[in-house]
Structure formats: structure tokens, C-alpha cells
Structure 1
Amino acid sequence: MIDFKLEGEFIPLIQLLKATGLVQSGGEAQTVVEDGLVKYNGAVDYRKRLKVRVGDVIDFMGKTIKVS
């Protein structure tokens, strides 16, 4: 599990995937979200501009990101 310390109110999902090193670029992040490979709090979410906040859990490629 990756524990991501959020600074501020939220982080866009695509930026979170890049910041944790799970994708190499913003374009790759957009593609994996559009393809339904990312789960937001247990459900597949296709929103590229999703605002991830403290307490949210993201699952991608067998990795879990907990935002604190």
C-alpha cells in the first residue's frame, strides 16, 4: 500500500497517479483512467479530473493508494 500525504484540499486523479510513480506521464494516466483500469473507493471511475481527497482509496494494477 502507498500512503500519500495530501497537501491541500484535493489532488486530481491523474496527478496522483504520476506523483506516486504508477504511471510515467499524464497521457498514460489519462489512458488508464479512460480504459477503466483505476478504481476509486472500490468502484471503477472514468473521470480524469476526479478530485481525490483525504480518506479516499485508489486501486490500480494491484497497487493501493491511501490518501491521508
Structure 2
Amino acid sequence: MKKIKIKSGEDFITLGQLLKVAGIIQTGGEAKYFLSKNEVTVNDLSESRRGKKLREGDQIKITGMGEFTITRS
């Protein structure tokens, strides 16, 4: 499981930002298309909103891409 850190001073990261940080997409504009074509779950619930707020402890699974957890440090 890969860890994705929230920047200091912020409370969350969006799903679209996670996709960019993880190197799955290159630009934010690709997020909506990617999410419409791939199965993504956040805490075992299906998710397709690029603006979904991810907070510390959230577990994200992207079929064929891996699993991620949100951390502060």
C-alpha cells in the first residue's frame, strides 16, 4: 500500500490531486475521464467524484493501479 501525504497546513487532498501525485494521470483535466473509465473505491465505497475530499486514514483502491492510504507524515 502506497502512502500519500497531505501537505502541511491542509486538512484534505482531493481524489483528482491523489491521481496526479500518484502519477496515474498527468493533468487535472484527465481526472474526470479516468474516473469514468476505472473502478475506484474510497473506504470500500465506489467513488467517481474527482473533488472527493480524502482525509487522513482514508483507504483508496484503484483497480489495476494499486492501493493508497492518506497520511499526514
Give the Å deviation of 1:36. Answer: 5.0
Query: Identity over aligned residues, as a percent?
Result: 34
CA RMSD in angstroms, aligned pairs only: 1.5
| Shift in alpha-carbon separation, 1:28–1:37, aligned structure 2, 3 A | farther
* Aligned residue in 1 for 2:56: 54
Number of residue-to-residue matches in the alignment: 68
The gaps in structure 2 that reach 5 residues or longer are: none
Provide the TM-score with structure 2 as the length reference.
Answer: 0.78
Deviations 1:37-58 (A, max 9, x none): 2111112112221001001011
Q: Give the alignment's TM-score, normalised by structure 1.
A: 0.83
* Runs of 4+ residues over 4 Å off in structure 1: none
Q: Which amino acid counterpart does residue 58 of structure 2 have in structure 1?
A: D
Which structure has the greater CA radius of gyration?
2
